């Protein structure tokens, strides 16, 4: 997110600030995208407030970003996960972002709020190794189960590390 640290004045941001205060780290607007970076501890409450009380009932996108080596990034976590919420009545969108760091990248799952988060959280887990607490079925989704790395991390090379060549071979007798 950009360096603009000031809190943007927007009705929903004011509501969130009033309710969650210190858990909101910063908010900004860029090209009509309203983004709010929240603390991990308040993530689930912020999202469920937006869904149940503010009318943002539609989770339109969930994904992860790895900022390892991002130019001039001094502070902030290595990973960020974004939730793009949509209020269908007024076509308003809000992007909630949350940072997680490497030793134990864990976030609360939003499965209790949106069933649509199921596969999207599994994909973030598969590609970045970010775990989602409370997800009923957190398995790899795109890569095979034997795969040990997280391919979309920035320190994972484009050509892989050779895991693909070390997969166990199943012979006809074993099948």
State the chain's maximal CA–CA distance in angstroms: 67
Angstrom distances, CA of residue 147 to CA of 45, 48, 115, 164, 171: 34, 34, 26, 8, 19
Residues ≥6 apart with Cβ < 8 Å to 151: 127, 143, 160
Output the smallest distance, CB 21 to other proteins, in A. Answer: 25
Round to whole Å and give the CA distance between 88 and 104. 35
* Residue 70 in contact with other proteins, rule: CB under 8 A: yes
Q: What are phi and psi of 32, to 5 degrees?
A: 60, 10
Q: Which of 17, 138, 141, 149 binds other proteins (CB under 8 A)?
A: 141
* Residue 142 in contact with other proteins, rule: CB under 8 A: yes
Round to whole Å and give the CA distance between 58 and 89. 10
Q: Which of 18, 21, 22, 72 binds other proteins (CB under 8 A)?
A: 72
* Residue 143 in contact with other proteins, rule: CB under 8 A: yes
* Residue 8 in contact with other proteins, rule: CB under 8 A: no
Q: Which stretch binds other proteins (CB under 8 A): 6-14, 16-24, 36-44, 151-159?
A: 151-159
* Residue 150 in contact with other proteins, rule: CB under 8 A: no
* Residue 158 in contact with other proteins, rule: CB under 8 A: yes
Q: Which stretch binds other proteins (CB under 8 A): 7-15, 37-45, 101-109, 138-146?
A: 138-146
* Residue 148 in contact with other proteins, rule: CB under 8 A: no
Round to whole Å and give the CA distance between 154 and 68. 6
């Amino acid at each position: 997110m950009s360096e603009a640290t000031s809190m943007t004045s927007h009705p929903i941001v004011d509501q969130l600030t009033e309710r969650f205060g210190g858990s909101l780290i910063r908010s900004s607007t860029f090209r009509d995208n309203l983004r709010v970076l929240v603390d991990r501890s308040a993530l689930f409450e912020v999202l469920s407030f937006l869904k149940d009380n503010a009318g943002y009932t539609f989770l339109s996108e969930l994904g992860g970003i790895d900022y390892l080596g991002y130019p001039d990034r001094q502070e902030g976590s290595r990973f960020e996960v974004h939730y793009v919420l949509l209020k269908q009545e007024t076509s308003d969108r809000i992007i909630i972002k949350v940072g997680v760091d490497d030793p134990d990248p864990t976030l609360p799952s939003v499965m209790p709020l949106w069933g649509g988060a199921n596969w999207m959280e599994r994909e973030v887990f598969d590609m970045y190794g970010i775990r989602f607490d409370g997800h009923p079925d957190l398995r790899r989704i795109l890569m095979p189960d034997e795969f040990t790395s997280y391919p979309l991390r920035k320190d994972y090379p484009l050509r892989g590390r050779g895991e693909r060549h070390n997969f166990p071979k199943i012979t006809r007798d074993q099948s």
